[in-house]
């Protein structure tokens, strides 16, 4: 009960900030609200100067940035969920910038000493001011005693506690959505929040980012035109990450890249093909691959930075993605439809031919566009939008993939506006499908199946022993009359549940009333 009131209070404060910035909902929805609700929204905006230059998207981004790190991350996450918040608001949230003022240099030095067990002067001969600051961490340039230039990433003080509290409130709101709405249950907001929670756990432990760098470096060591900064493990801990400093040109500075004489078309292809290799071949991809996290080094290699948010795909998901992309490339819509059913994403009671017909309605208009207008990201977005009519539940792991593909495609098009997505993607997708479904792939799958059977055989004696104990316990219970739930017991349980619900409902109404009073006092 206390947690419910606390979460309601936190959510009410966030709602007040959104309302005060006129970002709670679009004007066309506000106009349909009951008169008392419209009056409260107006009341929240008293004393707040209106900014006519800001559109709805900018107001929403400003409000979320005001609410702090957790809401910035929530906004970035919701930008991948047009099914939850609508296509326009999802697009608006792409304007959200993850930038905050840096925290003081003295605090950064104190965190380094606490985490690494030595003063900054002993670990680095030079340690400069922050060169970048975001919601989770900031980065300093430093020099080690052996003369190497490094980037030192340091978590913000208290950020873990703030995230834990806010994500608990998000989870509370998601549970209410699923509890009271059939559509909410289909969209699975609880699973989405859990995905955000797990993602943030990893992002708030910089040892995990260091490990991701090492794993992806191993996966990509032979990939053309792509590399990652090396980790300095001796100067890395939970709240401090030290890596090689990359001297290069930011991907966002396209004129500077052109001035270096770099082949921008080839570089755009490298961005797309690198991402697809990581996602389809490795099942492990950089899920925050925007321009600010990409550089081009002195050798012309694409260098990925800030691997705090990573995505993983199972073998089934990877095959699903590859088959979908290749199926659309060759316009085999029945093949794409069947993949959805085989993966279990679309319920078996649906008609596969009807689903293929819906896919054709997505694919044909896109395929008829000029090469520079064909968007793989747009295709995936529309693909997820049609799933509602076929009862396809949201797949959270694919949403992260979709969001990243939208970003990656945008980066590539800044380098090459005439990018042909299908021609760029086809070699990577076709190579993986050929390997996976060809003779060599069959041998690898057979080996994997044999290994799985071997592991199961090793555990068989223990499984049989557990089954024997369970059977014996059930037999003993049966001799003693077993466990029965008679009518009186059931009635007692029902009365207890009703009593608990009445107290919970009363507490929530009391908390909501208190919040209204608090909000009015804040305004007046």
Task: Mention every residue, 6+ apart, whose C-beta is less than 8 A from residue 433.
Answer: 322, 323, 326
Band (pLDDT 50/70/90 cuts) for residue 121 is very high
Convert the pLDDT of each residue in 241-300 to its tens digit. 999 999 999 998 999 999 999 999 999 999 999 999 999 999 999 988 888 899 999 999
pLDDT score for 94? 65
Question: Of 19 and 35, which is predicted with more confidence?
Answer: 19
Task: Mention every residue, 6+ apart, whose C-beta is less than 8 A from residue 458.
Answer: none
Helix, strand counts (H, E) of the chain: 23, 10
pLDDT score for 106? 95
Catalytic residue selected from 269, 288, 306, 317 = 288
Q: Which contiguous run of DSSP H or E holds residue 131?
A: strand 126-133
Q: Is residue 3 scored above 70 in pLDDT?
A: yes
Average pLDDT, the chain: 77
Q: Is residue 47 scored above 80 in pLDDT?
A: no
Q: Which contiguous run of DSSP H or E holds residue 493?
A: helix 487-523
Band (pLDDT 50/70/90 cuts) for residue 45 is low
0.75 surpassed by pTM: no
161: alpha, beta or left, given left = phi > 0 and alpha = psi -120 to 50?
alpha
**Is 297 one of the catalytic residues?**
no
d(CA 524, CA 522): 6
Convert the pLDDT of each residue in 338-372 to its tens digit. 888 888 878 888 999 998 998 888 888 776 666 66
């Amino acid at each position: 009960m206390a947690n419910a009131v606390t979460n309601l209070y936190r959510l009410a404060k966030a709602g007040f900030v959104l309302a005060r910035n006129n970002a709670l909902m679009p004007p066309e929805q506000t106009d349909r609200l009951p008169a008392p609700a419209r009056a409260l929204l107006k009341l929240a905006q008293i004393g707040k100067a209106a900014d006519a230059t800001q559109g709805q998207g900018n107001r929403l981004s400003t409000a979320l940035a005001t609410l702090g790190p957790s809401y910035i991350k929530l906004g970035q996450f919701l930008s991948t969920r047009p099914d939850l918040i609508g296509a326009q608001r999802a697009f608006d949230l792409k304007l959200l910038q993850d930038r905050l003022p840096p925290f003081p240099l003295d605090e950064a030095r104190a965190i380094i000493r606490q985490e690494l067990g030595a003063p900054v002067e002993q670990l680095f001969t030079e340690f400069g001011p922050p060169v970048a600051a975001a919601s989770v961490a900031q980065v300093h340039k430093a020099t080690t005693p052996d003369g190497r230039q490094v980037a030192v990433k340091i978590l913000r003080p208290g950020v873990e506690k703030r995230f834990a509290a806010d994500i608990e409130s998000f989870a509370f709101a998601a549970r209410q959505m699923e509890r009271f709405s059939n559509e909410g249950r289909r969209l699975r907001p609880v699973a989405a929040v859990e995905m955000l929670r797990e993602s943030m756990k990893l992002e708030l432990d910089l040892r995990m980012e260091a490990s991701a760098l090492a794993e992806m470096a191993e996966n990509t060591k032979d990939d053309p035109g792509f590399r990652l900064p090396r980790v300095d493990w001796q100067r890395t801990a939970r709240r401090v990450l030290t890596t090689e400093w990359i001297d290069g040109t930011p991907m966002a500075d396209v004129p500077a890249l052109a001035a270096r004489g770099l082949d921008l078309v080839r570089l755009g292809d490298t961005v797309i093909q690198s991402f697809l290799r990581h996602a389809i071949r490795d099942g492990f991809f950089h899920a925050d691959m925007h321009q600010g996290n990409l550089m081009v080094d002195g050798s012309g290699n694409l260098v990925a930075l800030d691997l705090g948010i990573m995505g993983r795909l199972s073998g089934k998901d990877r095959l699903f993605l590859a088959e979908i992309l290749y199926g659309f490339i060759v316009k085999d819509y029945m093949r794409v439809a069947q993949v959805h059913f085989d993966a279990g994403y679309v319920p078996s009671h649906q008609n596969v031919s009807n689903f293929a017909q819906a896919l054709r309605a997505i694919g044909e208009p896109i395929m008829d566009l000029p090469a520079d207008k064909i968007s793989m990201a747009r295709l995936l977005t529309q693909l997820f939008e049609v799933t509602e009519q076929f009862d396809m539940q949201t797949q959270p792991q694919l949403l992260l993939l979709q969001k990243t593909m939208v970003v990656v495609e945008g980066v590539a098009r800044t380098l090459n506006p005439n990018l042909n997505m299908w021609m760029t993607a086809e070699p990577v997708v076709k190579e993986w499908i050929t390997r996976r479904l060809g003779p060599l792939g069959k041998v690898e799958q057979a080996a994997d199946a044999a290994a799985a059977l071997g592991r199961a055989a090793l555990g068989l004696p223990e499984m049989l022993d557990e089954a024997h104990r369970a059977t014996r316990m059930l037999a003993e219970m049966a001799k003693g009359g077993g466990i029965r739930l008679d009518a009186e017991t059931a009635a007692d349980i029902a009365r207890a549940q009703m009593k608990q619900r009445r107290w919970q409902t009363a507490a929530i109404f009391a908390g909501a009333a208190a919040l209204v009073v608090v909000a009015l006092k804040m305004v007046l």
